[in-house]
A and B are shown apart, each in its own frame.
Chain A
């Protein structure tokens, strides 16, 4: 399946290669570079590139291209999903997945890649298993290792690998047993010029941080499970229980993981927490323009909107912006043409406003289209869909765990057309 992997940074330097079958010359990447050049933006590089004898499937993540070489037919999503899993594993191990951390930990990276694929077919991708095979680096451990000469590599096969719950390692012990769940909802919306909703839906995930000893069997139930339109689960969740009782029953992996994600579709009415009044206009003459944006609360259910940020991708001809904000700070980057207005907390009494003039490149025609606004926001302790966790029960272990649920609403791809 997956023949080789090349990691390439944004500048086009190939800084890591790994082959699972016979070696493929790195010159194969020339086809990738060609496509990369043609695409201008890294986002526009086609994920699948054909070369005379091979196929290159690549993903772009954290400013790194993961380019894999394929020789025969394979479901492309299989490869893409795997590459993302590799990136996630790096993130999990080193805190971030960047060129520097990969270069610093090249030996662990190599050991990981060796374990994750055998002959191009995934062997161990569960983080719980990998962590037993290759322990993640910590400052303490590397110090101990240099003194005692012990290694980072496990000597026995992780028990998870053989069981039918490969995601959990055996013999977990904690002094404080705790289970935390974060319900994070993101609103994807497109609002049109007049403020009416063109499209809105909610994407939610439940992130869990479970630190429980032994082999706990958890059951999470919701007050209103019918809200959930479409769900996907971590492999630990028992589908049948969900189908029959609408409860989530699972033996959790140890540590952080994403328990489930769900989707509340456009058919349901989605509350939009804020409204935006905007007026952006470019004048025919004088190569200038005006900008006036006001943000106000709409359906917030009494909660405060925080971390409000408005991002505008200005047209290329906008040279500079001379604005004044009643709240927060703004910044216009003339190179990337991005106007960023960081508002912070939304005060319903005094609505934040950004107003002023834009100066355009003289002589250039005025832009056809007004730029659309991208909104970022956060509402703590509130899930916009109204989803509520009812209770969490634990079976199979004797102790009483500490339980907690947190709700956050964020803006996902929230766009206001102008």
Chain B
């Protein structure tokens, strides 16, 4: 019940909310949010709060939203009052307001408004702002959990949003896909390549979701890359083949990886360098489940790196490594030392590290590991010390070479003062001996010898059990031990007494001649013991083994009951069976199936049709609509500038709605006649040659019927590892530019010209032809380039020119301003590669559009693409020009931001000037 104090405080809040002053309302809402945060009930304020939903003050409004989402479920009727406000806000020009209205509307879990939500989602899915579309993707999941009957409609929206090219939307819509219809793999086909290519630019949380989804997808679509090296995990391999025969058939064919499969692996690889541990883990599991076994090693380093992260991260990563290390020791063996335990680690971390070290142990490194274990055994953390002893036991069974060493080590531990350590050692020794008792009778003897010094009851009990169990191996010692025990029986702990009785019974059955009297003595002692358990046991044993008239049928089987062979405990890793779960999942961590876990399917024996993933090649940048789109978003985002940031914003705007437009155009407009274009190009060519040689260069290449200029990538970044050579320039302008005028140069004039020839002094230099001429009567002497040159530039100096008839020394500073095009090398690449690379490159991005009035060129939806690389660093420069009367759309993709913007400016001027 609410206290009176609380009630009056709420009254007070109500008053504040109903006042006219904004600041009072805000103060009240802040206090209410404080109540919600503390988990106090503030639901009775609902009517007072909901009135403010249409407030102008954005902070107040947001706080009201917080309140609404929290209590709407409880106060459904009142919540409906606010709906119309949201419906209005959904039409607001400000995208933030549209998005937050949709967020709140979809978070109000009131079933009545399902149709309204559905409508709002459908509308938002086609919104121009990718942020609103992202919110729509989130709303899909909310609606689905509220009303699963809407599934079919929602799938339609998901299908639409999956086509979205914005990186912002991708993660959220895949999340919605995973929650609503994870089985509709067919929706992914067409978007598979796009998702792979976008992946690097998607925000990190989206990456995790997409990678997990693509892992599942790939397992249904591609054939196993593991066939060739079947040597590796034999066990998991078996699952994929029904019979040996089929397997042989499969192996006869050489395996060729589907290019799409390769694409996924290639595009996820850089993400191993992500700062987000979840992303790294996601990529690691993708490689684990999808990559050929020999490529797996690249994930090792990244996983080991994650061990430096927070305790919780370590826990999860170590679990996954533990599972991996069982199947693939080699992966982590070089990093063994990273799993060494520190005394400051949390206990569960220590245990996991121990587990991994045990898994990694082999003949070569076992001595190092055992030495390490020796320090752990002495740890103050006794639970950990006990775990170490078990680990030693594990190593001992797995590696037969060290079994004896381990046993000896364990035997030494028996004299430890700590109860847990001793008990654990005895237990482990017991297990070890159980596996091969015959060979180790000397250890049993040794333990018998130590017995007098061991005081820990648990250990004493265990030794007695061993004696009894293997009394046949130590026929002389066992009765002697029993004799000693008979003497001290009354002073022993209860568990020891129980084992004494057991030992006596077993000896009685095997060696009754020597021990009959001792046994009876002990049974008599037990009969009068204070502990009823022992009395009970004594009575039971006596009935069982000592034949008398009452005992009946059971005593006949006494020997078989007591001396039954006990199965040796199997010492195996707790992570043995975890590989049935996909790595990195919650189910794997818990080792049980969590709700909503999606099973990873086995590889298909035959790959499904690959062509389903084929998408008609859509032009990267196509229509001039952008301008109109832009003007709308301008008012929303507030800052529209020519900065690269906002232009990329507009890219996403543009991409999304360009699909339909271009397709249409493609169909309706026939290809322009080649001849026609040619003449027009020549026209431009002549006009442009002065202002922008690069552009001319490009245009010329178009003349050669779109022989695309080529580009060389470095081997790493180039997908198919084809190293393309730079092609020779198609056109070399004869024009030279003035470097030094004869007036300023006091008679010396200089001209330069770009030869467009490879430079003989270095691959990363541009060659330049300098023409020096003496316009005076006197001779000029010792002309050279002085040592100081501007920063960052590297000039191969020429030797001083002896004499050009000179008088006096003079120095001129000159500067060469190359058109950006001169710093580029053209290269040939296919259109597909171009498009791919354009989507691929993690680059800054420019575009510009313009409407030159005097534009005479009439290309119908013609797109020209030019590829080049910078001479100095070899980074890729992609230019595409979409000419569409009267607009031209220029897109430049490059990492070199300065160069990009300069290039853009030049191409732009070149195009505008070409008019008259």
Contact = CB atoms under 8 A, between A and B. Distances in A.
Contacts of B96: 154-157
B215 to A, nearest CB: 11
A327 B863 CA distance: 77
B764 to A, nearest CB: 11
Interface string B38-60: 11000000000000000001111
Contact of B316 (A80, A152, A166): A80
B579 interface: no
A162 B66 contact: no
Contacts of A80: 277-278, 310, 312-313, 316
A58 to B, nearest CB: 8
A50 B716 CA distance: 44
B73 A119 contact: no
Nearest to B308: A203
Interface string B584-604: 111101101011111000000
A47 B638 contact: no
B167 A164 contact: yes
Contacts of A243: 270, 716-717
Interface string B872-916: 011100000000000000000001111001000000000000000
Interface in A42-73: 43-44, 46-48, 50, 55, 57-61, 70-73
B142 interface: yes
Interface in B805-838: none
B418 A368 contact: yes
B275 interface: yes
A47 B316 contact: yes
Interface string A1-34: 1000000000000111111011100100000000
Interface in A267-304: 267
A114 B66 contact: yes
Interface string A286-326: 00000000000000000000000000010110000000000
Interface in B340-375: 340, 342-344, 346-348, 372, 375
A220 to B, nearest CB: 14
Nearest to B717: A240
A241 B842 CA distance: 9
A107 B646 CA distance: 31
B792 A75 contact: no
Contact of A159 (B172, B416, B649): B649
B241 interface: no
Given A232-B275, A240-B841, A156 B897 contact: no
A162 B138 contact: no
Contacts of B592: 50
A22 B109 contact: yes
Nearest to A412: B308
A73 B39 contact: no
Nearest to B417: A365
A240 B842 contact: yes
A156 B637 contact: yes
Given A47-B316, A121-B138, A235 B275 contact: yes
B108 to A, nearest CB: 11
Chain A contact residues: helix, strand, loop or mixed: mixed
A109 interface: yes
A215 B639 CA distance: 14
A382 to B, nearest CB: 21
B99 A157 contact: yes
Nearest to A111: B62
B280 A232 contact: yes
B205 A78 contact: yes
A258 B282 contact: no
Contacts of A201: 338
A81 interface: yes
Contacts of B311: 43, 47, 59-60
Given A26-B39, A190-B340, A75 B282 contact: yes
The CB with the most chain B CB atoms within 10 A, among A47, A243, A258, is that of A47
Contact of A155 (B58, B135, B842): B58
A156 B313 CA distance: 36
B584 A77 contact: yes
Contact of B302 (A15, A78, A230): A230
A152 B316 CA distance: 38
B836 to A, nearest CB: 14
Interface residues of B, number: 132
A390 to B, nearest CB: 12
A95 interface: no
B590 A15 contact: no
A114 B141 CA distance: 17
Interface in B72-91: 73
B589 A76 contact: yes
B219 to A, nearest CB: 16
Given A230-B305, A413-B344, A73 B270 contact: no
A199 B103 CA distance: 51
Contacts of A240: 270, 716-717, 841-842, 895
Contacts of B346: 41, 43-44
A247 B586 CA distance: 37
A198 B141 CA distance: 52
Contacts of B58: 151, 153-155
A266 B281 contact: no
Contacts of A77: 277-278, 281, 313, 316-317, 584
A413 B342 CA distance: 8
Interface stretch (B196-204, B245-253, B461-469, B694-702): B196-204
A372 interface: yes
B335 interface: yes
A229 interface: yes
Nearest to B179: A72
Nearest to A41: B346
A73 B597 contact: yes
B273 A231 contact: yes
The CB with the most chain B CB atoms within 10 A, among A1, A151, A164, A215, is that of A164
A369 B337 contact: no
Nearest to A49: B590
Given A109-B37, A156-B638, A395-B898, A119 B586 contact: no
B103 A118 contact: yes
Contacts of A46: 315, 348
Nearest to B350: A44
B380 interface: yes
Nearest to B203: A166
Contacts of A198: 337, 340, 372
A13 B360 CA distance: 43
Contacts of B23: 146, 149
B212 interface: yes
Given A73-B598, A372-B343, A170 B639 contact: yes
Contacts of B73: 22-23
Contacts of B638: 156, 159
A84 interface: yes
Contacts of A351: none
B274 interface: yes
Contacts of A225: none
A161 interface: yes
B344 A415 contact: yes
A76 B319 CA distance: 11
Nearest to A15: B38
A122 B137 CA distance: 13
A241 B895 contact: yes
A14 B38 CA distance: 8
B838 to A, nearest CB: 14
A349 B598 CA distance: 65
**CB-based closest 10 A-B pairs:** A72-B596, A151-B59, A369-B378, A239-B270, A47-B312, A157-B96, A122-B205, A77-B278, A153-B59, A199-B337
27 contacts: A47-B315, A55-B594, A57-B312, A59-B312, A76-B584, A76-B585, A82-B278, A109-B37, A110-B33, A121-B141, A146-B23, A151-B26, A154-B58, A157-B96, A162-B130, A163-B646, A198-B340, A215-B645, A217-B898, A232-B275, A232-B280, A232-B302, A238-B842, A239-B273, A244-B874, A258-B275, A266-B335
